[in-house]
């Protein structure tokens, strides 16, 4: 897990350096702008790996991204929750310790999910008279964190790792923006690891 985080940090540093170098080579410094968006997607995974881990080869994700756009160069950092379709869920009797359920005993089923972090960088082309339509091509790196089958909000319950990995990817996004909001679609192809591809929609704004 530490190796994944180290590789993610290294990629972020490389992305930042490339963006800075582009600004210096342009001969002028222009102030960029931040874009923030939420998104949802369907994700395809490697069938052999998911069969071994007891989950289906498709999943859903919900996430958020922050994009810094300068001189048509887009640097992104984001995170998402990956929700597996689990075939090996378990049930466990739990006892409540909260304010309204202290001592209550119930049987609860597990959930299977992961947290994904990523960084990416690439170029953006703008079209039409208002420059509201944009095509963005990026390359990046993703890491799966806390990929497991467990019972939410339970401190002493059983849990088990779901041993799947993300990795480098390429991403193409098409967005249509107004003064206050943007809508987009994207496709993402992973180049290695257990994630194959993703297709999603996004809604965002800029500051």
More confident site: 101 or 12: 101
Q: Per-residue confidence at 1, pLDDT binned at 50, 70, 90?
A: very low
pLDDT higher than threshold 70 for residue 23? no
Residue in this structure with the two tokens 């160069």, named with its chain if needed: 73
Count Cβ atoms below 10 Å from residue 87 Cβ, excluding itself: 12
pLDDT higher than threshold 90 for residue 17? no
pLDDT higher than threshold 60 for residue 144? yes
Structure confidence at residue 13 (pLDDT): 45
Half-sphere exposure of residue 109: CA atoms within 13 angstroms, side-chain side: 6
pLDDT higher than threshold 50 for residue 35? yes
Indicate the average pLDDT of the chain: 86
pLDDT higher than threshold 50 for residue 115? yes
> What element of type H or E holds 55?
strand 55-70
Structure confidence at residue 207 (pLDDT): 76
Mean pLDDT of 9-17: 48
pLDDT higher than threshold 70 for residue 27? no
Count Cβ atoms below 10 Å from residue 175 Cβ, excluding itself: 22
Mean pLDDT of 161-176: 97
Q: Per-residue confidence at 180, pLDDT binned at 50, 70, 90?
A: confident
Q: Are strands 133-150 and 111-127 parallel, antiparallel or unpaired?
A: antiparallel
**Cβ density class 115-143: b for 16+ within 10 Å, e for less:** ebbbbbbbebeeeeeeeeebebebebbbb
pLDDT higher than threshold 80 for residue 45? yes
């Amino acid at each position: 897990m530490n190796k994944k985080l180290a590789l993610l940090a290294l990629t972020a540093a490389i992305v930042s350096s490339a963006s800075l170098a582009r600004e210096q080579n342009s001969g002028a410094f222009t102030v960029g702008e931040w874009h923030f968006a939420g998104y949802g997607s369907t994700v395809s995974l490697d069938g052999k790996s998911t069969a071994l881990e007891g989950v289906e080869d498709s999943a859903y994700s919900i996430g958020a991204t922050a994009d810094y756009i300068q001189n048509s160069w887009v640097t992104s950092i984001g995170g998402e929750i990956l929700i597996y379709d689990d075939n090996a869920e378990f049930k466990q009797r739990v006892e409540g310790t909260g304010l309204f359920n202290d001592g209550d005993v119930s049987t609860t089923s597990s959930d299977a999910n992961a947290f994904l972090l990523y960084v990416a960088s690439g170029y953006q082309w703008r079209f039409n008279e208002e420059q509201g339509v944009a095509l963005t091509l990026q390359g990046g790196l993703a890491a799966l964190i806390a990929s497991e089958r467990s019972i939410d909000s339970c401190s002493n319950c059983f849990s088990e790792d779901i041993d799947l990995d993300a990795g480098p990817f390429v991403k193409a996004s098409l967005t249509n923006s107004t003064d206050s909001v943007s809508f987009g679609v994207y496709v993402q192809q992973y180049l290695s690891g257990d994630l194959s591809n993703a297709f999603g929609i996004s809604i965002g704004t800029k500051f």
